[in-house]
Chains A and B, each alone.
Chain A
Amino acid sequence: MDRTAGRPPLVLMLPALVGLVFLVLPLVGLLARAPWGTLGTRLAQPQVLEALRLSLVSATIATGLCLLFGVPLAWLLARVPFPGVRLVRALVTVPLVLPPVVGGVALLLVLGRRGLVGEWLDRGFGITLPFTTSGVVLAETFVAMPFLVISVEGALRAADARFEEAAATLGAGRWTVFRRVTLPMAAPGVLAGAVLCWSRALGEFGATITFAGNFPGRTQTMPLAVYLALETDPQAAIVLSLVLLVVSVAVLVGLRDRWTGAA
């Protein structure tokens, strides 16, 4: 049954269609120019699978880290009033505004071998992060976490705080309230945030190549492989882009169906 009566108004439909076409057209371009004849042999190259595996693994770990640290951070911003909360909220979104390459340089300056924290890690524990897979995960986490925090914070603010108060008056502690009431209420927001976060991490390029460099099998994710393929073999770049596209859409649609039980 229709929720609202009448036809959708043209003033909404027209820009909606323009927006849709604008978003979908570049994908059509990729499909139109794809070298379908040689697709099989190009995909069979071990470098492609290696880059794809690295992309999926690092984006998933990065999303895990974002959930681990981002959900509590969002809760802090939404539920605990403290002086300077506006400033902190603005700081959290900095990686969104920062060009990813700049983010990568900033990470180098802090976590690099001669960085503020990195020097200490290197000297004290022999841990160096640049040029490692951990470096890729960190770069992706840095860039993707704001997406999760903003989305979860929005969900927490929209959730009715009276349920939490009721739970508290019934004797539940703050941790129990968070676990049993707050989190289930904010679940759709957390899910949406995690999906955004994963997608952003999967497509990450600038911070990754700047902080972690590019080495096949270790730090070369799909976007890096696409960029370098573009230098000599645009057809290969299209193939790699298609692979990334198909895999990410498949994962996102699959998760959506599983978690919400509807298409």
Chain B
Amino acid sequence: MLRRVSVAALAALPLVALAAACGDTKDGSSGGSPGRTLTVFAAASLTETFTRLGKDFEGTHPGLRVRFNFGGSSTLAQQITQGAPADVFAAASGTTMKTVSDAGDAAGQPTVFARNRLVIAVPKGDPGKVRALADLAAPKLKVVLCAEQVPCGAAAKQALAAANLTVKPVSQEQDVKAVLTKVRLGEADAGLVYRTDAKSAAGQVEGIEFPEAAEAVNSYPIAALAKAPQSATAREFVQFVLSPQGKAALSEAGFESP
């Protein structure tokens, strides 16, 4: 008897999973709760700031839940153009946003809401004795950069080219947080990360500013999405990020205003 029941349950499993997955994409809220959910796709470097802004936004919108999908901007852009149910997209570069708006998935023109520049991140105590960008070219130094395919890697390439430097990294990481982790754990002597990332790991990581970073400042555009299930709230959230309150939170995290 027991055996028969379990076989039937096993057979039904994929169907249940399928049904659950379908249900989720249809209404965006799980468990049949009365509240609405706003889904925001945002670049990994916005994790701390946007999580905080999301809480504030929920506070002024009773019954609303803001759900975030943080990740590499290019991955997020692809998920959106492939039809992932999202209301707002905040990218770490103009090019990734362009992928989305070119596909007709952005509602209206994206607005730049912040800028970020690179700093050299070194482990606490600076064991590699790094002072300036030129020090990264030292052959014995273990340097970690973002891969050129992701925005932080493109920015690093630009800054190094502006300084006319050739740096041989030991690894090309998949996103800026991975670079930060390698520096934080002391596996790398130095890495190029955004100023905001260095700030978020203050205490374990020191951020060294360098003038060539001005050549590779990247902008963060935000847009409500054309197929947003919550289109009105999506536009409100965009306005909230652009508001003085949003700007204050962003500059506190180390972002520059556009």
Contact = CB atoms under 8 A, between A and B. Distances in A.
A58 B66 CA distance: 43
Contact of A214 (B142, B172, B186, B187): B172
A100 to B, nearest CB: 14
B171 A18 contact: no
Given A229-B149, A231-B174, 19 more contacts: A11-B7, A11-B8, A18-B11, A18-B14, A22-B14, A112-B186, A113-B186, A131-B170, A131-B187, A209-B178, A210-B181, A212-B171, A213-B171, A215-B172, A216-B172, A228-B149, A228-B172, A232-B149, A234-B78
Interface of B: 7-8, 10-11, 14-15, 72, 74-75, 78, 142, 144, 147, 149-150, 169-174, 178, 181-182, 185-187
A208 to B, nearest CB: 11
Contacts of A214: 147, 171-174
B171 A219 contact: yes
Contacts of A219: 171
Contacts of B149: 228-229, 231-232
B142 A131 contact: yes
Interface string A159-186: 0000000000000000000000000000
B185 A232 contact: no
Interface of A: 11, 14-15, 18-19, 22, 105, 108-109, 112-114, 130-131, 209-210, 212-216, 219, 224, 227-232, 234
B185 A112 contact: yes
Nearest to A22: B14
A228 B174 contact: yes
Contacts of B172: 213-216, 228
A213 B8 CA distance: 44
A228 to B, nearest CB: 5
Nearest to A229: B149
Contacts of A213: 144, 170-173, 182
Contacts of B72: 231
A112 B187 contact: yes
Which of A105, A108, A212, A214 has most B Cβ within 10 Å? A214
A105 B173 CA distance: 14
A114 B185 contact: yes
A151 B170 CA distance: 37
B190 to A, nearest CB: 13
Q: Chain A at the B interface: mostly helix, strand, loop or mixed?
A: helix
- The 8 A-B residue pairs whose C-beta atoms are closest, nearest first, are A213-B171, A15-B11, A131-B170, A231-B149, A231-B74, A114-B186, A232-B149, A130-B187
A212 B178 CA distance: 12
22 contacts: A11-B8, A14-B11, A18-B15, A22-B14, A109-B185, A112-B187, A114-B185, A114-B186, A130-B187, A209-B173, A209-B178, A213-B173, A213-B182, A214-B171, A214-B172, A214-B173, A215-B170, A215-B171, A216-B172, A228-B174, A231-B75, A234-B78
B174 A227 contact: yes
Contacts of A231: 72, 74-75, 147, 149-150, 174
B91 to A, nearest CB: 13
Contacts of B15: 18
A19 B14 contact: yes
Nearest to A211: B187
A113 B128 CA distance: 13
A216 B171 CA distance: 9
Nearest to B170: A131
A230 B169 contact: no
Contacts of B74: 230-232
Nearest to B168: A215
A15 B10 contact: yes
Contacts of B185: 108-109, 112, 114
Interface centre among A15, A105, A213, A219 (most CB of B within 10 A): A213
A11 B171 CA distance: 52
Nearest to B175: A231
B189 to A, nearest CB: 9
A227 to B, nearest CB: 6
Nearest to A216: B172
Nearest to A212: B171
Contacts of B186: 112-114
Nearest to A113: B187
A231 B8 CA distance: 41
Nearest to A237: B78
A178 to B, nearest CB: 37
Contacts of A216: 172
Nearest to A132: B170
A139 B74 CA distance: 27
A216 B15 CA distance: 41
